[in-house]
Amino acid sequence: MVLAELGTKISNALKNLNKVDVVNEETLKTVLNEIVTALLQADVNVHQVKKMRDAVNLQFKVQSSQGGDARNLIRQLVVTELSKMLEAEKKPYQPKKGKTNVVMFVGLQGSGKTTTCTKYAYYYQKKGWRTSLVCCDTFRAGAFDQLKQNATKVRIPFYGSYSETDPVAIAEEGVSRFKKEGFEMIIVDTSGRHKQEAELFDEMKQVAATIKPDEIVFVMDSSIGQACYDQASAFRKAVDVGSVIITKLDGHAKGGGALSAVAATESPIIFIGTGEHFDDFESFEAASFIKRLLGMGDISKIVDIVKEAVPLEDQPKLLEKITSGNFTLRDMQSQYKNILKIGSFSQFLSFLPGVGTSLMGKTNDKENIAKVKKFICIMDSMTAAELDGQAQITPSRITRIAKGSGSFEIEVNLMLEEFKRLKMMIEKMSKAKLGGKGGDLASLARNPQQMMGKLKNIVDPRMLQQMGGMDGLMDMMKQVGKMEGMGGMGGMGGLGNLGNLGNLGNLGDMMKMLGGGKK
Ligand code: GDP
Ligand code: MG
């Protein structure tokens, strides 16, 4: 995703703050210029960029007079204002389980509506919702066939017509049928046009007036650059857009333009599309996104992912495994299965950092998934004792396991290496709780100072230097800890202590650091 480049540029600009001796308005100007250039290069709307710059300048004037660390102030202001840029005041519609939710999708032709409808449907279906799809695109030839194929692939009931030409009639009929049948989620795909034109908007308005959707989702292709803002505004004027989904963020799109859709529609981005597959779909939350963009870690996202992927009753167990260091091949296997359940490796990356960093790197998500599948298959050929760490895995066993799973011995070895790496990391992580009583990971996380004390012994000094020494690391953590308040830490529910890790910054980075400690 090219947006990552934007993130790197912004965080580099912020890092440069450490290089100057005195921080004043001149420094701020330089930093802001760099950030503004980066945003504009990424196609973010000019007016929004200006608004953000003015806000940072103003806040700096107001707040710097109150004393405090000017560097931190600038960092904080930039993050806050960037998040604001992405956050709409309006909260997105929260579909309610157990009742009928009608969600209508709108957008230009080719923006990814039909694909996104299916992704959205699949997302809710995986959560156990009774989900259905209605195709009222009678404009594009083959539209119904496309939706039918998609729906069939993910096994979701659909409605459409080959003979009816009136989209309003189809929408009405489809929605009322699925309502009668008690579907919880009825997703209505509409037609697009190549460009914004009156005919399309009229059709959209009529459909909306007839089915009275609970939510209208505007789907926008991220690759259209600066045109995003105007397009989004036009749709917003025509219908009551409630939220936005940005597609094709996997391609070469600079992505920044799409972010302007928030301002144009005054509606939040709820998901992003990152590929053509139905699970190339990520939920989106502004503050998390900005932090991730700037490499500041994002525990809330990890928590969400774990909540989504790991059955509720297993969550405490998993956390205990992770914090106790008592991690077996069987645990790794079940984590891998969870990865497959989410269908995206990169999403899981931060949660199982050891596995993540080594498997990710240059290869892409799909290759990683293939690798995970292979490893699961290899583990399936192992005995229970081997999986539970109660039996030695001898060379002759490796040969057998390779045969049994239809893989090469080298692949079995790779998997075992991976396991060793992960286990080592988790053990190091658990050693961080040297403090005995109250020294467990969660309590430590509540107290960064104490945490840092413990970490000092295990962190790779080179790494530490890179991060601006102990103080830099400390600052970073404090900042992330503070920022958690900005959003995203809600709903910790079943995860118990993990919530407290908010102060820790990115568990992934932390683990990476720990891993780098001894080589
Ligand atoms: P519609 O005309 O708005 O319904 O758009 P479609 O759903 O038919 O999508 C148009 C094209 O964009 C198709 O080839 C999709 O596979 C592709 N597409 C949709 N979303 C994404 C995405 O997130 N990433 C990529 N790479 N392609 C996408
Ligand atoms: Mg379509």
Beta carbon of 320 within 6 Å of any ligand 1 atom: no
* Better-predicted residue by pLDDT, 207 or 361: 207
Structure tokens at 416: 């075992």
Query: What's the gap in Å between 191 CA and the centre of ligand 1?
Result: 13
Structure tokens at 110: 């080719």
Helix (H, G, I), strand (E, B) or coil at 86: helix
**Which among 58, 15, 55 has a CA at the least distance from the CA of 34?**
15
Answer yes or no: is the C-beta of 255 below 6 A from any ligand 1 atom: no
DSSP state of 392: -
Answer yes or no: are the C-beta atoms of 358 and 391 closer than 8 Å. Answer: no
Q: Is the CB–ligand 1 distance for residue 137 below 6 Å?
A: no
| Position 294 confidence tier, pLDDT thresholds 50, 70, 90 | low
Q: CA-CA distances (angstroms) from residue 99 to 120, 180, 234, 240, 383? A: 17, 11, 31, 22, 46
Distance CA 496, CA 499 (A): 6
At 67-90, the pLDDT tens digits run 778 888 898 888 888 888 888 888
Which residue has the CA at smallest separation from atom 16 of ligand 1?
276
252 alpha carbon, closest ligand: 1
According to the model, what pLDDT value does residue 75 have? Answer: 84
Ligand 1 binding pocket includes 112 (Cβ within 6 Å)? yes
Report the nearest-CA residue for atom 28 of ligand 1: 276
Beta bridge partners of 217: 105, 243
Q: Would you call 252 exposed, middle or buried from its count of C-beta atoms within 10 A (0-12, 13-18, 19+)? A: exposed
Residue nearest to atom 12 of ligand 1 (CA): 112
Cα-to-centroid distance, 172 and ligand 2 (Å): 18
Do residues 146 and 192 lie in contact, with contact meaning Cβ atoms separated by under 8 Å? no
CATH of the domain spanning 3-86: 1.20.120.140
**Which region among 142-146, 237-241, 271-275, 488-492 has the lowest average model confidence (pLDDT)?**
488-492
- Is the CB–ligand 1 distance for residue 275 below 6 Å? yes
Please give the distance, rounded to the nearest whole angstrom, from the Cα atom of residue 229 to the centre of ligand 1: 20
Ligand nearest to the CA of 248: 1
Question: What is the mean predicted confidence (pLDDT) over 114-142?
Answer: 94
In this predicted structure, the answer to whether residue 202 has a pLDDT above a threshold of 50 is: yes
404 lines ligand 1 (CB under 6 A): no
Kind and range of the H or E run holding 277: none
Average pLDDT over every residue of 405-418: 90
Contact status, residue 252 vs residue 258, Cβ threshold 8 Å: no
184 alpha-carbon distance from chain centroid: 25
pLDDT band at 249 (very low <50, low <70, confident <90, very high): confident
Looking at all shown ligands, the one closest to residue 107's CA atom is 1
C-beta of 132 in contact with ligand 1 (< 6 A): no
| 469 φψ region: left (φ > 0), alpha (ψ -120 to 50), beta (else) | left
Q: Model confidence over 132-157: pLDDT tens digits?
A: 999 999 998 899 999 999 999 999 99
Q: Quick one: pLDDT at residue 362?
A: 36
- Confidence band of 383 (pLDDT split at 50, 70, 90): very high
* Residue extent(s) of CATH 3.40.50.300 domains in the chain: 101-293
pLDDT score at 85: 81
Distances from the Cα of 244 to the Cα of 110, 318, 339, 354, 440, angstroms? 16, 34, 26, 34, 41
Is the CB–ligand 1 distance for residue 433 below 6 Å?
A: no
For ligand 1, say whether the CB of 274 is within 6 Å of any of its atoms.
yes
User: Which residues, 6 or more positions from 86, have their beta carbon under 8 angstroms from its beta carbon?
Assistant: 259, 262, 269, 286, 289, 290
423 lines ligand 1 (CB under 6 A): no
Burial class (CB in 10 A: 0-12, 13-18, 19+), 96: exposed
pTM given for the model:
0.61
Residue 80 beta carbon below 6 angstroms from any ligand 1 atom: no
Contact, 185 vs 101, CB < 8 A?
yes
Q: Is the pLDDT of residue 418 over 80?
A: yes
Per DSSP, the three-state class of 242 is coil
Secondary structure of 325-346 as H, E, C letters? CCCCHHHHHHHHHHHHHHCCHH
In the chain, CATH 1.10.260.30 covers 299-514
CA distance 212 to 517: 58
Residues of each domain in the chain carrying CATH 1.20.120.140: 3-86
Q: Which two tokens stand for residue 10?
A: 């912004």
Q: Rounded to the nearest whole angstrom, what is the distance from the C-alpha of residue 114 to the centroid of ligand 1? A: 7
User: Measured from the CB, is residue 250 less than 6 Å from ligand 1?
Assistant: yes
What atom in ligand 1 is closest to the CA of residue 189?
Answer: 4
For tokens 């694909």, what's the residue? 115
Give pLDDT, residue 210. Answer: 97
DSSP state letter for 239:
S
Report whether residue 45 contacts ligand 1, using a CB cutoff of 6 Å: no
In the chain, what percentage of residues exceed pLDDT 90?
A: 39
Dihedral over Cα of 477, 482, 488, 489: its sign: positive
> Distance from the CA of 107 to the center of ligand 2, in angstroms?
9
Residue range 441-479, pLDDT digits in tens: 444 444 445 545 545 444 444 444 444 445 544 544 444
pLDDT band at 204 (very low <50, low <70, confident <90, very high): very high
Q: Cα of 36 to ligand 1 centre, how many Å?
A: 31
According to DSSP, the residues that pair with 158 across neighbouring strands are 133
In angstroms, what is the span from residue 273 Cα to ligand 1's centroid?
9
Give me 303's structure tokens.
């928590």
In order of 40, 115, 220, 385, 486, the CA distances from 247 in angstroms are 20, 9, 6, 46, 26
pLDDT at residue 480 above 80?
no
Least confident of 64-78, 292-306, 487-501: 487-501
Any ligand 1 atom below 6 A from CB of 193: no
DSSP labels, 167-213: HHHHHHHHHHHHHHTT-SEEEEE----SS--HHHHHHHHHHHHHH--
Other beta carbons within 10 angstroms of residue 361's beta carbon come to 8
Instruction: List helix spans (H) across 254-394.
Output: 256-265, 286-293, 299-309, 315-324, 329-342, 345-349, 353-359, 365-380, 384-387
State the CATH architecture for 299-514: Orthogonal Bundle (1.10)
CATH number of 101-293: 3.40.50.300
Structural contact between residues 102 and 156, judged by C-beta atoms closer than 8 angstroms = no
Q: What is the mean pLDDT of the chain?
A: 75
Q: Over the stretch 34-49, which tens digit does the pLDDT of each residue have?
A: 999 988 888 888 888 9
Q: Which residues lie below 8 Å from residue 154, measured CB to CB, with a gap of 6+? A: 118, 121, 122, 125, 278
Backbone angles phi, psi at 469, to 5 degrees: 70, -175
- CB-based contacts of 344, cutoff 8 Å, min separation 6: 279, 280, 282, 365, 369
Ligand 1 atom closest to the CA of 146, numbered from 1: 8
